Amino acid sequence: MDLTKPYPTPTQETEPFWEGLRNEQVLLQRCDDCGKWIFYPRSNCPSCLSINLRWHEVTGEGTLYTFTVTHQATAPHFVDEVPQLIAMIDLNEGVRLTSTLVVDEANDPKVGAKVVPVFDHVSNEVTLLRYRLA
Amino acid sequence: MKLEGKAAIVGYHEYPHIRKFTGKRKFTLGQWADLTRLSLDDAGLEASDINGLVCTEIRETVSFTPATIVEYLGQPVNFAERVDLGGASPVGMVWRAAAAIELGLADVVVCALPGQPIPSNPNPGPVDPRRYFQSSSVNWGSPQAEFEIPYGNLAQNCGYAMIAQRYAAEFDYDPRAMAKIVVDQRRSGALNPNAVFYGKSVSIDDVLASKLVADPLRMLEIVMPVAGGAAVIVANEDVAKRCKHRPVWIKGFGEHLTMKTPTFAEDLCRSPVGPASAKAFEMSGVTRSDIDACQIYDCYTITVLLTLEDAGFCEKGEGMEFIRSHDLSCFGDFPVNSHGGQLGMGQGGGAGGMTQVIEGARQIMGRADQRQLPRCDHVYVSGTGGIMSEQAALILKGD
């Protein structure tokens, strides 16, 4: 049973995002034609299907849209992370992403709370974008 | 374009739901053939009457699925389709069968979903990653492999829990009302000999005392995986009139898909079953107040709550009060999942949602024994795939 953490393998579309995280920067695509921000990175804008997309650095700050605390690992690879605090984060630019919350026990997460990025360098190649309460 | 409502469910078969299957194991192809035989018998039809089929994935091939099944059954068909809508597949299969029949492509269409374990492979090969990651794709280039799975957001529990948590932040959330969904359904399920919880009702306190799996969802609010499997036969008007049972006409349907991962839902508290149900009601000419029973896809309690609201049986945010003020059991004033639902029957994999279709047909045919509703002419059925990602609705009617 291969239980190595299922870390991401970037693609040509997504590499700038992961490269940004390695440098502790949050980069998002924005559509030059319709102006909408885009997440996750892709080749075409999910609002107008334009291919004129450009990378921009953003703060990565946002609010907690929802979360759960798991008491049973979502896969055997995450047994060491239970309780997992899995969250959806609304970035200030209006896009939503999945992350995990790094919280101390004295500070219970609440939907709508302000959150800020935590760059978790899990290996030489991969940095995950986690969050903590602001 | 709309259905005329001239295709009907004329027969079905449902394997008993069993937690630990100890019977003779068959391949999914064998289960397909067996379910087809049993559901044809139920309708009073023969193998040679079939000229259409709708399937989902089978274990013996990754592609060319319909042709593989046609060959195994030995019955040529004029219409074949493989549906890939997760838990919404059963509803999606039935409306596609009805549409093909109304277009004149086929007269008798079998829709089957095997759900029993297959024989152990003596040469198993590498472990299928789906064993761990379930419905989340770990394939390179899959958005889930890159942006969900590394954070542990995979499979179903955590997604549905996050929907419930968001609902709780926006609206009234009452854990006792959520538990009451289970209690009312299990009261019906306790009378269903095919249910894993046959003879086993529960109390609100039992549900609230069950293990917290992903906050706020508890063990008894989540379906139990079981061995199952089911099939229905859909037929045209001429055939339906000479079958054994009261025809169950397929009067309307709707389907709506928005995303794979709930992170990308515009609004987690407003699910795709809303537009799907609106379309189904509009097509059928049946109104919500005509409905005698709802068979609502119930992988989790939160799915039932959102479906009641989004399908228009109560207003958004009023679901908890609706549940508190109605008896949802088969003896109640607003029956929901009169077979126990999947929360009461267990979930036979992808076949789970077919229990909802079959209970709708069973009630209209008047074959629900101790659970039979005093009057049942109009049934609403929903199907939910993924994490409220892809949903479908059916309106069934008896003459």
- Domain residues for the domain of A81 are 59-134
Among candidates B367, B339, B356, B347, which has minimal Cα distance to B394? B356
- With respect to residue A2, please indicate whether it lies within any of the assigned structural domains: no
**Do residue A24 and residue A47 come from a single domain?**
yes
Show residues of chain A in contact with B225, CB under 8 Å.
none
Amino acid present at A65: Y
**What is the CATH classification number for the domain harbouring B296?**
3.40.47.10
Query: Helix (H) and strand (E) counts for chain A?
Result: 1, 8
Residue A3 lies in a domain: no
Whether B166 and A72 lie within 8 Å, measured CB to CB: no
Length of chain A counted residue by residue: 134
- Would residue B45 count as lying in a domain? yes
Judged by CB atoms closer than 8 Å, whether chains meet at B140 and A11 is answered as yes
Assess B213–A contact: CB distance below 8 Å, yes or no.
yes
ipTM of the prediction greater than 0.85, yes or no: yes
Are residues A99 and B214, on separate chains, in Cβ contact within 8 Å?
no
Based on the fold, state whether residues A41 and A67 are members of the same structural domain.
no
Q: Which two tokens stand for residue B104?
A: 């004149």
* Interface mutation vs chain A, best among B134, B149, B163, B167, most A CBs within 10 Å: B149
Q: Can you read off the two tokens belonging to residue A123?
A: 């290996």
Q: How is chain A split among helix, strand and coil, in percent rounded to 5?
A: 10, 40, 50
3-state secondary structure of B313: coil
Q: Which stretches does DSSP call E strand in chain B?
A: 7-14, 52-55, 79-82, 108-115, 212-214, 217-218, 228-236, 248-257, 293-295, 378-385, 390-397
Distance from CA of A52 to the nearest CA of B (A): 20
Q: What pTM, to 2 d.p., does this model score? A: 0.97
Structural domain contains residue B75: yes
Q: Is residue B166 part of a domain?
A: no
Cβ of residue B166 closer than 8 Å to a chain A Cβ = yes
The CATH number linked to A118 is: 2.40.50.840
Encoded tokens for B209: 């005392």
The answer to whether the Cβ–Cβ distance between B153 and A76 falls below 8 Å is: no
The yes-or-no verdict on residue B269 having pLDDT over 70 is: yes
Cβ-based contacts of A87 with chain B (< 8 Å): 162
A117 shares a domain with A52: no
Which position has the higher pLDDT, B87 or B1? B87
ω into residue A131 within 30 of 0, thus cis? no
In contact, B289 and B190? CB cutoff 8 Å: no
Q: Is B68 on the interface with A (CB under 8 A)?
A: no
- Residue B158: phi and psi, rounded to 5, are -70, -35
Asked if the structure places residue B157 within a domain, the reply is no
DSSP conformational letter for B370: G
pLDDT, one tens digit per residue, over A57-76 is 999 999 999 999 999 999 99
d(CA B304, CA A118): 36
At residue B129, the pLDDT reads: 79
Is B165 part of a structural domain of the chain?
Answer: no
Is position A47 within any domain? Answer: yes
Q: Give the closest residue to B39 by CA, choosing from B86, B108, B135, B132.
A: B108
Number of domains in chain B: 1
Do A43 and A109 fall within a single domain? no
C-alpha–C-alpha distance, residues B263 and B205, integer Å: 32
**Same structural domain, A53 and A72:** no
**Nearest-angstrom CA–CA distance, B373 and A47:** 47
- Per the domain annotation, does B215 fall within a domain? no
Q: Judge whether A32 lies within some domain.
A: yes
SS3 B272: coil
Number of domains in chain A: 2
Are the beta carbons of A75 and B157 separated by less than 8 Å?
A: no
Same domain, A41 and A98: no
Q: What is the 3-state secondary structure (H, E, C) of B192-252?
A: CCCCCCCCCCCCHHHHHHCCEEECCEEHHHECCECEEEEEEEEEEHHHHHHCCCCCEEEEE
Chain A residue nearest residue B144, CA to CA: A8
Q: Residue A106 has what pLDDT?
A: 60
Please give the pLDDT value at position B132.
Answer: 85
- Same domain, yes or no, for A25 and A65? no
Q: Is A63 found in the same domain as A121? A: yes
Q: Is B120 exposed, middle or buried (0-12, 13-18, 19+ CB in 10 A)?
A: exposed
Does residue A65 sit in the same domain as residue A119? yes
Q: Smallest CA–CA separation between B169 and chain A, in Å?
A: 6
Residue B61 DSSP symbol:
B
Cα–Cα dist B325/B344, whole Å = 21
Please give the structure tokens belonging to residue B372: 């039979």
Confidence of residue B214 (pLDDT cuts 50, 70, 90): very high
Residue B49 resides in a domain? yes
A71 & A52 share domain: no
Rounded Cα distance, B45 and A62, in Å: 61
Tell me the pLDDT tens digit for each residue of B311-369.
999 999 999 999 999 999 999 999 999 999 999 999 999 999 999 999 999 999 999 99
Spatial CB neighbours of B285, under 8 Å, sequence gap ≥ 6: B251, B252
Among residues of chain B, what percentage have pLDDT more than 90? Answer: 96
Looking at CA atoms only, how far is residue A111 from chain B in angstroms?
A: 6
Task: Examine the domain organization and report whether A96 and A110 are in the same domain.
Answer: yes
List the single residue in A1, A66, A74 with the smallest CB-CB distance to B165: A66
Tell me which residue range forms the domain holding B380: 7-119+222-397
Which amino acid would we find at residue B342?
A: Q
Residue type present at position A38: I
Nearest to B268 among A66, A72, A99 (CB): A66
pLDDT at residue A105, as a whole number:
66
| Same-domain status, A31 and A96 | no
Q: Helix (H, G, I), strand (E, B), or coil: what is residue B253?
A: strand
Burial class (CB in 10 A: 0-12, 13-18, 19+), B12: buried
Confidence of residue B78 (pLDDT cuts 50, 70, 90): very high
